[in-house]
Amino acid sequence: MYNWEAEFRRCYDHALKCYQAGERDAGRYFSKTDAAFLAAIGITPQEMLDYVEDAAEGILLATEHYDDPDPVNLGAGFEIKIADLARKIAALCGFRGALRFNPAYPDGQPRRMLDTTRARERFGFVASTPFDEGLRNTVAWWREHGRPNNSR
């Protein structure tokens, strides 16, 4: 049975091990099969991503000012195609290799845009960090701290 998440995790973990071992040529991280799988990610799907400081602010506001049983979505109210996100991250990291996408592989739910109206109306939360700024901050943090060796 095909398990997209398990396949992605396997590729990610392998790339991380290569990087931690000092390999900086991303073209050597993956087999041709892995590269074909990864190339398929991002053709169609769009994600709504949250910057961690905005999410923390939203959680704090909700705990202080929201006492209803209805679920609340926190988010930036902004969608980006995974392919566009990959291009932005590659540019920020100085990656000069090719990003290839293969529409023949399945790649999940096409859109993930949440309605954040309730958060705005009920406790005044609106994400304030522009997407590109949050992405730059995240890449800078990653460069300084990296991923702990004991995390999955």
Provide CB contacts within 8 A for 108, sequence distance 6+: 4, 45
3-class SS of residue 112: strand
| pLDDT per position as a tens digit, 28-71 | 777 777 777 776 665 555 566 778 899 899 999 999 999 999 99
Alpha carbon distance, N-terminus to C-terminus of the chain = 23
82 within 8 A of 37, measured Cβ to Cβ: no
34 within 8 A of 14, measured Cβ to Cβ: yes
CATH numbers and ranges of domains, the chain: 4-145 (3.40.50.720)
pLDDT at 1: 44
| pLDDT per position as a tens digit, 95-123 | 877 777 766 665 555 666 778 899 999 99
| Residue 152: both structure tokens together | 């999955």
- Of the candidates 76, 103, 104, 101, the residue with the CA atom closest to the CA atom of residue 86: 101
The CA distances from residue 61 to 100, 101, 129, in Å, are 41, 40, 16
Q: What is the DSSP pairing of strand 79-81 with strand 111-112?
A: unpaired
